[in-house]
Amino acid sequence: MKKLPVLVVCLVLASVSVLFYSFQPRNGNGKNPDTVRIEPGLVSGIKSKFSGVVAFKGIPFGAPPVGELRWKTPQPVQPWSGVKKCEDFGPSPMQGKPVPFAVYTPEFLIPEKPISEDCLYLNVWTKAHKGDKRPVFVWIYGGGFTSGGTAVPIYDGEAMAKKGIIFVSVNYRVGVFGFLAHPDLTKESPDKASGNYGLLDQIAALKWIKKNIAAFGGNPDNVTIDGQSAGSMSVNCLVASPAAKGLFNKAIAESGSLMIANPLIKANNLDAAEQQGLKLAAAVHASTLEELRKVPADDLMKFPGRYAPIVDGYVLPEPVSQIFAEGKQNNVPVLTGWNADESFVAGFKKKEAFIQQAKDQYGNDAEKFLQHYPANTDEEAARSQVKLSRDMIFAASGYKWASLQSAQGKSPVYVYYFSRKLPATADYVKYGAFHTGEVAYTMNNLKFLHRPWEPADHQLASLMSSYWINFISNGNPNRNGLPPWPGYNTATKQAMVFDKTSGKQELPDWPELEFMVGR
């Protein structure tokens, strides 16, 4: 056999090597990292071989808020050398063990581990290149300000990033670690405020985005914040806050705001919140901040408290509703709405008890109240209690926000009503269009939620995520080929109703909501 020239052999071997390498995992375990330089140093992520989207998970945006930094404004991250592998979610914020309940299967919950006070991490999904200027979407999770995290399965950002945006999700401190106020904390603060550390985390993440997102191909001047439940209330606070001015230019709020008093999450003033902080310090036998900061995290969580955003004089200089009424909020387009069946009723009252409660609570307005929330039978009373819970906790506050923004006429507002009863087994069918049920649709993430989906659900997810992408891109959900979604105004009250068949119509249940906000 004739021998091939050495040069030819080398070229053949080199070609085979390149071909072999191109089909192999870059680091031997299926992970294909891309590297980006941000302010503290280099970070690497993982590129999806299917979509081309690169996920950077667990990027620190603040120093660990532990020890002396517990209950302080987020501090800068220390620079690092080399490349920081950002391939896994950072720890979720400190909270109780996540346990499925009611309709909330594991797809709605953070992983059991890791959970830590060291939680100031964010995640970026991008298909862009440095130099691109793609719209940026910032996700703020719910959880009643006591739980939640970015590692929840249905919050995955790949599907939305695939549609041409930069998807960012951010952790923030919750519970006693995110919203404790105390006179000594107020005194030591340069802003003479305490209690809103969770909101300060969100603001710190937005400042990080302003500085760093261009390196991922994002436009720091085209940022949309979106939150659901407590995340929606956070969005409402950020729109109201002078401390967040200039950090975003559009807002989406899914199910909730602090425009009216919330029976589950009541925004207190600083004095009342400081008194709660003093009681906690006494309960754990801490007479100084130094001692309080040394108390183990698990011990702090043993004592009950209602921790949520407060009027602290800095992040929120006035009640949110007052800021909006006076037109002092950040002037941005808003997309907001709620779900048909989202409610949290601990136990149903019989018709007689429900009627008596109405008389006790609404006095001369009780008769009018019972017209909106009738109780002629026990079954009707139960249905009214579900609707009342939805309206008081989620819908009425969004309705007030939309109505006020429409009346002021400075920026457009778009309203939706999600009424799709999610397909479910017999165990879950009773929950209907439940709280958080819309999220998998808006993010086009049905694959992460284990339900017997129908073709109509995939069509709805495509529709809703397209509306969201349009709004994220330019502040208007409309685009040629989609059913028209009119801006909301108090005269026509037109909203987009999402269901098996979606379209614009008069906002359902608006008379009940008008009654709730008018009191």
Nearest to residue 132, comparing CAs of 169, 158, 165, 163?
165
Beta-carbon count within 10 A of 221 CB: 14
Annotated catalytic residue within 158, 342, 438, 512: 342
Q: Is 48 part of a structural domain of the chain?
A: yes
pLDDT digits (tens, 9 = 90+) for 340-375: 999 988 789 999 999 999 999 999 999 999 999 999
Share of the chain above pLDDT 90, in %: 88
Q: What CATH number has the domain bearing residue 310?
A: 3.40.50.1820
Please say if 147 is a catalytic residue. no
Annotated catalytic residue within 169, 384, 435, 512: 435
Residue 299 amino acid letter: D
Q: Which pLDDT score, from 0 to 100, does residue 130 have? A: 84
pLDDT digits (tens, 9 = 90+) for 411-450: 999 999 999 999 998 889 999 999 999 999 999 999 999 9
pLDDT digits (tens, 9 = 90+) for 253-279: 999 999 998 876 765 899 999 999 999
The residue segments making up the domain with residue 47 are 6-332
Q: Is 238 part of a structural domain of the chain?
A: yes
SS (H, E, C) 407-422: HHCCCCEEEEEECCCC
Q: Is 475 part of a structural domain of the chain?
A: no
Please say if 435 is a catalytic residue. yes
Please say if 229 is a catalytic residue. yes
What is the number of structural domains in the chain?
1
Distance CA 140, CA 229 (A): 9
pLDDT digits (tens, 9 = 90+) for 223-246: 999 999 999 999 999 999 999 999
Taking the alpha carbons at both ends of the chain, their separation in whole angstroms is: 98
Q: Is 180 part of a structural domain of the chain?
A: yes
Q: Is 117 part of a structural domain of the chain?
A: yes
Does the pLDDT of residue 497 top 80, yes or no? Answer: yes
pLDDT digits (tens, 9 = 90+) for 51-74: 999 999 999 999 999 999 999 999
Beta-carbon count within 10 A of 245 CB: 12
Q: Are 209 and 138 in contact (CB under 8 A)?
A: yes
User: DSSP letter string over 132-195?
Assistant: B-EEEEEEE--STTTS--TT-GGG--HHHHHTT-EEEEE----HHHHH---HHHHHHSTTS--S
Sequence-distant (6+) residues with CB within 8 A of 304 are none
Does the pLDDT of residue 4 top 90, yes or no? Answer: no
Q: Is 1 part of a structural domain of the chain?
A: no
Look over the chain and give the mean of its residue pLDDT values, rounded to a whole number: 92
Nearest to residue 373, comparing CAs of 361, 356, 355?
355
Q: Is 287 part of a structural domain of the chain?
A: yes
Annotated catalytic residue within 92, 169, 194, 229: 229
Give the residue-averaged pLDDT of 399-408: 96
Reported in sequence order, the residue ranges of 276-412 that DSSP labels E, i.e. its strands, are 334-339
Provide the pairing of β-strand 134-140 with 218-228. Answer: parallel
Q: Is 53 part of a structural domain of the chain?
A: yes
- To the question of pTM greater than 0.85 for the whole model, the response is yes
